[in-house]
Chains A and B, each alone.
Chain A
């Protein structure tokens, strides 16, 4: 089987118990090569534990993890030679310079660093030579994050594992990262990123997996998840209209939010056709449809333990 045909990441009933806590409970998941996969969950859901098991920093209680078909425990060194990793918490040594840190980490890798690619990354994140000559003690949180991103991408690994990648980045640098992620996808790299910023996941990810209390409760393409949410529809009328006689006459999937004399606000799951037919005889001035956001659906999963 070729490397391309294998899942970039395969988790097989991965479980991690600590003394008084189940951090991860029988999680099974496939991440396809070349996709950007968003790994979501509230704090303590088990995202970082999963990532640390992929890197063999934490050992599973049961189950197995594979990267490009290689067992993350038995073939840990081969696995890690395929990974570029951005930790959520960057443990840079304060008395090293930015340049020294990149060189040091580069030397620990399998391949020699392509300096043109490294230069491109530094330019994208606006890290100048003067910045790199400074010790990391002098770096701001955002600059450390940018350096962290560069060290993760500089080896041009086939799989990028990013733990909360935009934490501490300003909006411009967030954009630079999103662009880099899209470029990585175009170049066939796989990205596995944990995040709790739903808007960024919606912008860049192809699929998402949602962890809740150590259990994977949802795996789906972003577009499909969005469809699960009801759209908000506001209908404005030229003149006052009577309220419909009873709630039973509303089409399936339509929920009334507010019925004012000159404007109705509805939440509609599914096609809009039936409601358009229903208001066809009324003096409609304008119809405003607000598309559902990923957030609308995922907040339900976060909050509602009984959500499907």
Chain B
């Protein structure tokens, strides 16, 4: 990272610090709350009853890992795959990654690129912020869960192992990286941020639905492999399966490809 990239990173972080802190606090609070819900359910001995309530067709659609979710560990880990959390984090990644398009749209880029600053440094800046913001969010989630498990959970509760939490965090990070890379590529080609955000957002939402469709409806299964969310399987991690390197490679590979496209396009286009 050059001195100028650092200057750009600092300015962008200062601009979005409010958003980052708010989202981080929200996620940490949600994780804390989950530990309390899990504790409550444990005290009520409700996990076995909840498992019995799951209809057969749901077990068929979602697979045996659904039952793994009906546990103290599963509820505490819910934050790592809850749709609202995923939407929030993917949305945050898209917002951060589309900063280059916003700078082109507002002509701020005319002021920065009139200095001896390589165009690639604007993409590098966004990449660094994506990594820092993603890391901060995962850190906030881990902190919220840790506080809840340390201060307000009975000692006999079966806490999620560090390895499980780490693999869930890596899995979620790879989803964020994937959509961050895709949004970065879109931002590098766009002249308006709204266009980049809309295309990335609709693509992400469509992909999420496609993955659901593929899990629920056999004929849609072959095309659901096109959705990045197809390679996000947190329940299998909770069920005790190891982190799939293939899934990780697909998600990180998509993010990396998007980032490479962003560098290539942004350094060649007219601004």
Interface residues of A in 62-90 (CB under 8 A from B): 77-78, 80-81, 83, 85, 87, 89-90
Q: How many residues of B contact A (CB 8 A)?
A: 23
Interface on chain B toward A: helix, strand, loop, or mixed SS? helix
User: Which residues of A are found within 8 Å of B7, using beta-carbon distances?
Assistant: 104, 107-108
* Chain B residues whose C-beta falls within 8 Å of the C-beta of A104 in the assembled complex: 7, 11
Q: Is A193 an interface residue (CB 8 A)?
A: no
Determine whether B113 belongs to the interface, using a CB cutoff of 8 Å to chain A. Answer: yes
A152-166: which have CB < 8 Å to B? none
Closest beta carbon of chain B to A221's beta carbon, Å: 29
Which residues does chain A contribute within 8 Å of B117, judged by CB atoms?
Answer: 77, 80, 108
Contact indicator B270/A85 (Cβ below 8 Å): no
Which A residues between 214 and 252 are near B, CB-CB below 8 angstroms? none
**Does residue B237 face the partner (Cβ distance < 8 Å to A)?**
no
- Within 8 Å of chain A (Cβ to Cβ): is B271? yes
Chain A nearest Cβ from B125, distance in angstroms: 11
**CB atoms of B118 and A77 under 8 A apart:** yes
Q: A59 to B271: give the CA distance in the assembly, Å.
A: 9
The answer to whether A110 touches B116 (Cβ under 8 A) is yes
- B4 close to chain A: CB less than 8 A: yes
List residues of chain B with CB within 8 A of the CB of A93. Answer: 15, 106, 108
Q: 7 interchain pairs (CB within 8 A)? A: A58-B270, A77-B117, A80-B115, A87-B107, A107-B3, A108-B115, A151-B111
- Chain B neighbourhood of A110, CB < 8 A: 115-116
- The answer to whether A109 and B115 have CB atoms under 8 Å apart is yes
On chain B, the residues within 8 Å of A77 by CB distance are: 116-118
Of all chain B residues, which has the CB nearest A80?
B116
Instruction: Report A192-229 CB contacts with B as 1/0, cut-off 8 Å.
Output: 00000000000000000000000000000000000000
Contact B114 A83 (CB under 8 A): yes
Kindly state whether residue A91 has any CB partner on chain B within 8 Å.
Answer: yes
A3 close to B (CB within 8 Å): no
Q: Within 8 Å of chain B (Cβ to Cβ): is A92?
A: yes
Most A-side CB within 10 Å, residue of B116, B268, B270: B116
A110 CA / B109 CA spacing, docked (Å): 17
C-alpha gap A108/B4 in the complex (Å): 6
Write the nearest CB–CB distance from B268 to chain A, whole angstroms. 8
Verify A91–B271 contact, CB threshold 8 A: no
